[in-house]
Amino acid sequence: MLTRVCLTVALALPISVLAQVTPTANGPTENESPMSAPPMVSGQALPTSVESAENSNYLAGSVAFEAAYNDNLFPYYVTQAISGMSYSIRPRISFDQSISRFHQTWNYSPGFTIYQPIAARNEFDQNVSMILQYRLSEHATLSGGDSFLKSSNVFNQGDSQLGGSVSGSPSSSPADLLFPFINRLSNTANAQISYQYSANSMIGGGGTVGLFQYPNQTQSSGIYDSTSRGGSAFYNRRIMGTQSIGANYQYVEFLGNPAAGQVEMQLHTLMGFYSLTLEHRLSLSVSAGPQHSEYAQTSVPSVGSWRPSVMASIGWQGDRGSLVANYRQTATTGGGLIGSHESKNASASASWRMARTWTAGATATYSIYGSVANVSGQQGGHTVSGTASIDHPMGEHFVARLGYQRIHLSYGGTAAASTTPDSDREFVSISYQFKRPLGR
């Protein structure tokens, strides 16, 4: 009952305050720019370049042809690694349009991969995402997004799964263990409303839902499907123009169905935060606060605990390079894990233009999951993953890329991660890219 009350208050608070404030007497003055929700509460990824932060109204696309050598194509079936080649084609289309009060961004990237000498691993992937934003009034904005992924190879999803996309907000999804070659379906959706009721003050709130599924149970021994849902509410106060402080409340419920019986985890988190943004060049946010978790499993008494929740993120974009990084400490479950775990996740992405036609990039993630309520015997573990690459444009539309990727898993009691836990991959690709402005 307490959970339902807290969630109802979190979602209703922004709307009730909005109704009590007269728009004509509030909002930014002529000398003040409109506020935007900081990364801590917006749920969006930190921009990895000045261009990604500022560009809009375009149609872009690409087609990439890639050959790769994998040293471990069957990490869950055999005790000795089997290596082989893979050949893939991955088209991508992106659409960004901003008209009047409405801004929309769509991305679609399917992919097909052929493996040799093991044709049974051939796969067809789907990756779709969208972000919508609508200005309801001069001071109120409604936004939402959805992301869908179907894949059996985490390497084929590029930066989106190996650290290239770095979020500045707390996670509302189950833990993601990044098993390299497991059939997986995931979908997350969110909606948020924000209201600037004075020149320097903003409130908002929203909700989110998500699911993780592993259709092939033979591959996914020791991990299980899970879903999540939750809501949040925030207050943001701008100080000194480029800085802001505030507070954010988040409720998340995780549900799973392992063989041992249904599991449920509820999280209540209240965090104060500080955020700094300087002309799309530098963004910084720090937040901390108490977190209460309650974990329950069929035929097992529920376990509750308090712990601190901490998060920090930084994003910098220069003329020749960029760097984004995030650290998050929180309680979690799901995504393959059984039991209540404290997670510590660090991720970073960097790029540097060494010369006019040469750009180096690297991404990395490090995750530790320590058991808090060990009701299942699973001890948690850690994941290390990363990508290093060099890009070389060849003319106006073609780009060649050479890179290396690695994933290391260590999870006791999880068969899908304990047989051959390491996967290494070297790849080379050539892609055709285009970008066209809209309305010109």
Q: What is the pLDDT of residue 222?
A: 63
Model confidence band, residue 58 (pLDDT cutoffs 50, 70, 90): very high
Contacts of 66 (CB under 8 A, 6+ apart): 87, 88, 89, 90, 427, 428, 429
Q: What is the pLDDT of residue 55?
A: 66
d(CA 136, CA 56): 20
Indicate the helix (H) or strand (E) that contains 154: none
Is 23 a residue whose pLDDT tops 50? no
Q: Please give the residue that has the higher pLDDT: either 200 or 23.
A: 200
Q: What is the pLDDT of residue 176?
A: 59
Q: What is the pLDDT of residue 186?
A: 87
Contacts of 25 (CB under 8 A, 6+ apart): none
Q: What is the pLDDT of residue 419?
A: 59
Contacts of 419 (CB under 8 A, 6+ apart): 75, 76, 77, 78, 79
Question: What mean pLDDT do residues 51-69 have?
Answer: 82
Contacts of 402 (CB under 8 A, 6+ apart): 389, 390, 427, 428
Average pLDDT, rounded, for the chain: 79
Q: Please give the residue that has the higher pLDDT: either 61 or 423.
A: 61
Q: Please give the residue that has the higher pLDDT: either 413 or 202.
A: 202
Q: Please give the residue that has the higher pLDDT: either 172 or 179.
A: 179
What DSSP letter does each residue of 222-249 carry, written as one string? T---EEEEEEEEEEEEEETTTEEEEEEE
Q: Please give the residue that has the higher pLDDT: either 71 or 257.
A: 71
pLDDT tens for residues 215-260?
A: 776 665 667 788 889 999 999 999 887 889 999 999 999 887 765 5
Q: What is the pLDDT of residue 3?
A: 45
- The pTM is what? 0.79
Is 438 a residue whose pLDDT tops 60? yes
Is 22 a residue whose pLDDT tops 50? no
Record the tokens describing residue 158, joined without a space. Answer: 């590029």
d(CA 416, CA 261): 19
pLDDT tens for residues 402-437?
A: 999 998 887 766 655 555 568 889 999 999 999 999
Q: What is the pLDDT of residue 189?
A: 93
Question: What mean pLDDT do residues 378-391 have?
Answer: 84
pLDDT tens for residues 126-176?
A: 999 999 999 999 899 999 999 998 887 777 654 444 444 555 566 655 555
Q: What is the pLDDT of residue 343?
A: 85
Question: What mean pLDDT do residues 345-364 have?
Answer: 92
Report the Cα–Cα distance between both ends of the chain, in Å, rounded: 55
Domain boundaries along the sequence of the chain? 2-437
Is 62 a residue whose pLDDT tops 90? yes
Q: Please give the residue that has the higher pLDDT: either 196 or 336.
A: 196
* Burial class of residue 19, CB neighbours in 10 A (0-12, 13-18, 19+): exposed
Q: What is the pLDDT of residue 203?
A: 95
CA-closest candidate to residue 335, choices 398, 400, 252:
252
Degrees (nearest 5) of the Cα angle 49, 54, 56? Answer: 120
| CATH of region 2-437, choose from 2.60.40, 2.40.160, 2.30.30, 1.10.287 | 2.40.160
Type of residue found at 280:
H
Q: What is the pLDDT of residue 422?
A: 80
Lowest mean pLDDT among 104-108, 212-216, 341-345, 359-363: 212-216
Query: Quick one: what percent of the chain has pLDDT higher than 70?
Result: 72
Model confidence band, residue 376 (pLDDT cutoffs 50, 70, 90): low
CA-closest candidate to residue 182, choices 147, 138, 149, 210:
149
